[in-house]
C-alpha cells in the first residue's frame, strides 16, 4: 500500500489516543493477568518461565539497591582504610537484604518486548516510515525522563546514607547512584511501547496486514496488564502503576501543592511544569512560596523557578529592597540579600507602577545601572523614556 485513504488517515489519532489512554492508566494491575502475560512472553522468546515478583513502585527497588550498595561497598572502603565497620541499622535490614538479592539478578535487557515487537513489525516494514512516526508520542516524554532522572538520585536525601558521615567515603556518593542506576536502568516501560502497539494495531485492524495472533495478544497483554517490568533470567520484577498522574497543557508533569505522580506505596514526584521539585517546595502551593527560600536555595534551576513564580514585586517587599533612584512611576531597587550565583552581584530591579491600576511590576536589570531612567532605557531597547512616551 503506497497511500492511505482519507478514511484510514482519520483513524490514526483514534488508535493513538486508544493506546495513550491504556499507557497512562492509573488502575491497579491484576497480578494474575500480569504474571500470565510475563510468562507467555518468556515462552514466546524461547525462555523458561520466570518467578514473578511484584512491587508497589520502582522506588522500592531503587532504594533497596542503594541501601545495599552504600552499606556493602562503604564497609569495603572502611576496611581498606582500617576504619571500624558500620553496622546496618535495624530499620534498614529488610531493605538491605532485598537489595542484596536484587543486585545479584542478571538482566535480560529489553528483549522481552523488543523481540516481540520486531517480529510483529516485519509484515509492516513498507509502512514504518514515515507513518510509524504518527504513533511515537503516545506517552509524554517528560513522564519517562523524570522517572529516569529520579532513579539516579535515590538516597541523596541522606535517608539511606549509612557511612556515619565519614568524609572519606563521600567520594562514593557520585558513583554510587550511577552504579545502582546502571544495574537497574533497563526497566521495560510498557508505556513507552504503547506507540508501537498503536502502530501495530492500526496496521492489523485498519490495513488488514497479516500477523501472528498469539504474539500480538501477548504483546498487548504486557502493556495492558503490567506496570514497569525488569526482566532477568529466572526472575521478573513487575511494579504497579501510579495512582495519580497529572500533566499541564504541554504534557509536562505538573501539579500544585501535591504530587504530579504517586504510586500505591506513597512514593511520588512533585513537579511544576516539568521541573521535578523537592518535597519542601512541592507540598506548598506556588502562591505560598516564600521569598526567603531563594536566599537558602543553591540549586540554580529551583532558584530560577522560585524567582519566576514568586515574582519580583513580592520579592522586593519581602526582602526589603533598597531604593536607589526614581523617575516618574519607575524606581530602581537593589536587593543585597539576593546574590546571583553566576556573577555574585546583588539583584538590581526596576519597579514600575501603573498610574491607572496601581499594579506593580518589577523587572531585573543589569547591576551597572545607576539611575531609574538608564534602567528604563535598557528595558526599552535603548529608547529614552521621554521618547518612548511620545511614541506611545
Q: What is residue 172's predicted lDDT score, i.e. its pLDDT?
A: 41
Give pTM, 2 decimals.
Answer: 0.73
Cα 78 to Cα 82: distance, rounded to the nearest angstrom = 6
Q: What is residue 61's predicted lDDT score, i.e. its pLDDT?
A: 84
Q: What totals of helices (H) and strands (E) does the chain contain, helices first?
A: 17, 11
Enclosing H/E stretch for 323: strand 322-327
DSSP label at residue 89: P
Cα 160 to Cα 66: distance, rounded to the nearest angstrom = 7
pLDDT confidence band for 282 (50 / 70 / 90): very high
Cα 61 to Cα 232: distance, rounded to the nearest angstrom = 14
DSSP label at residue 42: H
Cα 275 to Cα 4: distance, rounded to the nearest angstrom = 40
Cα 220 to Cα 215: distance, rounded to the nearest angstrom = 9
Tell me if 327 sits within 8 A of 376, measured CB to CB.
Answer: yes
DSSP string, 198-218: HHHHHHHHTS-----HHHHHH
User: 43: which strand partners?
Assistant: none
Average pLDDT value for residue range 5-31: 91
pLDDT in tens, 124-165: 877 766 566 777 666 676 676 766 666 555 543 333 333 333
CA 309 to chain centre: 20
Q: What is residue 165's predicted lDDT score, i.e. its pLDDT?
A: 34
pLDDT-above-70 percentage for the chain: 83
* Burial of 288: CB neighbours in 10 Å, binned 0-12, 13-18, 19+: exposed
Tell me if 220 sits within 8 A of 197, measured CB to CB.
Answer: yes
Amino acid at each position: 500500500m503506497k497511500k492511505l485513504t482519507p478514511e484510514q488517515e482519520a483513524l490514526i489519532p483514534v488508535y493513538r489516543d486508544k493506546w495513550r489512554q491504556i499507557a497512562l492508566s492509573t488502575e491497579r494491575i491484576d497480578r494474575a493477568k500480569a504474571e500470565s502475560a510475563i510468562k507467555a512472553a518468556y515462552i514466546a522468546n524461547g525462555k523458561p518461565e520466570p518467578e514473578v515478583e511484584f512491587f508497589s513502585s520502582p522506588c522500592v527497588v531503587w532504594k533497596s539497591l542503594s541501601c545495599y550498595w552504600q552499606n556493602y561497598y562503604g564497609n569495603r572502603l572502611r576496611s581498606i582504610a582500617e576504619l571500624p565497620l558500620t553496622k546496618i541499622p535495624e530499620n534498614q535490614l529488610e531493605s538491605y537484604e532485598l537489595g542484596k538479592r536484587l543486585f545479584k539478578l542478571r538482566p535480560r535487557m529489553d528483549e522481552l518486548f523488543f523481540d516481540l515487537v520486531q517480529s510483529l513489525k516485519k509484515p509492516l516494514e513498507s509502512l514504518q516510515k514515515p507513518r510509524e512516526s504518527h504513533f511515537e508520542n503516545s506517552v509524554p516524554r517528560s513522564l519517562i525522563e523524570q522517572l529516569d532522572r529520579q532513579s539516579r538520585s535515590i538516597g541523596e536525601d541522606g535517608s539511606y546514607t549509612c557511612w556515619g558521615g565519614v568524609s572519606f567515603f563521600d567520594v562514593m556518593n557520585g558513583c554510587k547512584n550511577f552504579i545502582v542506576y546502571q544495574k537497574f536502568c533497563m526497566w521495560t516501560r510498557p508505556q513507552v511501547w504503547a506507540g508501537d502497539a498503536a502502530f501495530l494495531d492500526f496496521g492489523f485492524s485498519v490495513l488488514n496486514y497479516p500477523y501472528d495472533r498469539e504474539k500480538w495478544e501477548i504483546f498487548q497483554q504486557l502493556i495492558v496488564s503490567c506496570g514497569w517490568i525488569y526482566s532477568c533470567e529466572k526472575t521478573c520484577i513487575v511494579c504497579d502503576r501510579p495512582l495519580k498522574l497529572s500533566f499541564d497543557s504541554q504534557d509536562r508533569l505538573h501539579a500544585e501543592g501535591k504530587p504530579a505522580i504517586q504510586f500505591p506505596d506513597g512514593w511520588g514526584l512533585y513537579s511544576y511544569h516539568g521541573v521535578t521539585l523537592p518535597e519542601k517546595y512541592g507540598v506548598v502551593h506556588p502562591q505560598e512560596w516564600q521569598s526567603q527560600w531563594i536566599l537558602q536555595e543553591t540549586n540554580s534551576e529551583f532558584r530560577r523557578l522560585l524567582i519566576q513564580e514568586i515574582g519580583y514585586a513580592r520579592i522586593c517587599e519581602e526582602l526589603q529592597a533598597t531604593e536607589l533612584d526614581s523617575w516618574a512611576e519607575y524606581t530602581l531597587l537593589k536587593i543585597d540579600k539576593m546574590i546571583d550565583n553566576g556573577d555574585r552581584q546583588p539583584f538590581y530591579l526596576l519597579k514600575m507602577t501603573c498610574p491607572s491600576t496601581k499594579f506593580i511590576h518589577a523587572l531585573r536589570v543589569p547591576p551597572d545601572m545607576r539611575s531609574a531612567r538608564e534602567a528604563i532605557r535598557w528595558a526599552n531597547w535603548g529608547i529614552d523614556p521621554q521618547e518612548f512616551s511620545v511614541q506611545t
